[in-house]
Structure 1
């Protein structure tokens, strides 16, 4: 932090330059944020209150929903307030905190999605061993390891970024602080930072992608042996998971491995939305749209609240 003292604050460009478009996008993002909170809160309530959903699949889904509420809260509220008040300043400490939390949430989310792929693999390919492999102890320890390793991962990247000197422009061409945008502003040698990003992308992103891909290759090969009626149910739970993981990984890897291309372009802002805002918004929809148990549990939660209100 001492080396970045030449820059006391950063300026976020936000969603757009024109006031009308900025206000429109701020309202849209605010509505998306509220919908994300509501959807994930309903899933957390349903999977907690309904005893029939106390299974490993819904245990990880509940954890993912809690994480998604935190994830989207790191960036969207600040961006909306900045756009609506036309105050785009963010302190160096605030920027560091935002980077740490974004990386932490993204890292843990990727690990959760990877574990959920394993859960689906065991449930479909090894159903008789499912209670043994995906036991409660495994679920708890996997969650704790994901959360603790995320602290180390985010701490290393954040510390490595703010060890640099920022003596050029303080304008971040993004609606939140992220590493690629800051690297383009640094007057220090950023080779080691880029190298760390590449190694992290290969180790974490590539490793998770390979694991998830192999899991679904086995899943689809097994599902094709099912009767036609049962294939639809299996595909309905697997395909949405693949879509979210693919969108999340592609956007993250592209933004973080091509910072020179995306740091000052609208393309970078759009791709950042796809890994920071869209997955938390879509997860409640795609995981409950075809899941009868989740929909029924959500109805019970809604009706219970409406009856208690009356």
Structure 2
């Protein structure tokens, strides 16, 4: 398909620069084949069925943006994908200033050595050095990696350290938040439990590639960045049981949805621990996901392509037009949609 098929008009004032408080006070657009309904996120336990299985992504965001100096050039690094504990592929501003074996001081005792460049996307492989465990060093030296459509409009601050994490995230390793999960509060999770809605977690460490624009004209030519995911055996068994019993599996976020479909086999979802590059566009046949909770995505993005694959492009364009006309808040800190095909 043409990437331009997934374009739509979005006024800049619809882009949320802060989340609402409390988290579950955000709005929720319910999208079904029967039409659209304006709800609140706190209504979710009443909108789902007893026995539905919600699948959350329990990844936790690293402060994955680093800044250092090489001669008179500021080197800005956004971590993308971990290869080994101290080696990361990263996107780099001023990458042309770097040569193999160049060393950059990022402060707080953290230095990085540029090892290699990927000719496909220009990303740089870094080897980081610190007397501290690498996670502690990154926590000290790094900044929260807010998306460009937020960080270009305001400075990242201490409030984002809390706002840009889910309340249930505990597997440190993402460089972008699984933003559908940002709407949940402990009280809402308890209400879901009381309503008989099952909850399970998987892990997909979201990479900085999620922010990269699609630069080709045809979706068949787009290369997805690899991201590491894991589903344990107990969770896989719970998902197979739900499918066998005719209960709905609803992914919380496109990251969970992509991981579930990556782990599907003809025998059902299996335990999984590997990279995935799955790219879901209209024509894809979902084998696991029966519904999706997700935020509102960028025009021409791979995420808008995914929701269009689930619901149909015309349905999603109509839903987004309704959201724009009715002052829904878009993107990472914005409102959410419940998609039930």
Give TM-score, length-normalised by structure 2: 0.24
Bigger fraction of residues in strand: 2
User: Highest CA radius of gyration, 1 or 2?
Assistant: 1
TM-score calculated relative to the size of structure 1: 0.26
From the two aligned structures, give the one with the greater helix fraction.
Answer: 1
